[in-house]
Amino acid sequence: MAISPKAMEYLTTAVRQGGISKAAAELNIAASAVGPRTADRTKPPSAN
Q: pTM for the whole thing? A: 0.61
Higher local confidence (pLDDT), 44 or 28: 28
Q: What is the pLDDT of residues 6-35, one digit of tens each?
A: 889 988 999 999 998 899 899 998 888 766
A 10 A CB-CB count for 24 gives: 20
What's the one-letter identity of residue 17?
Q
Q: List the domain boundaries for the chain.
A: 1-32
Which residues have C-beta within 8 Å of that of residue 12, sequence separation ≥ 6?
none
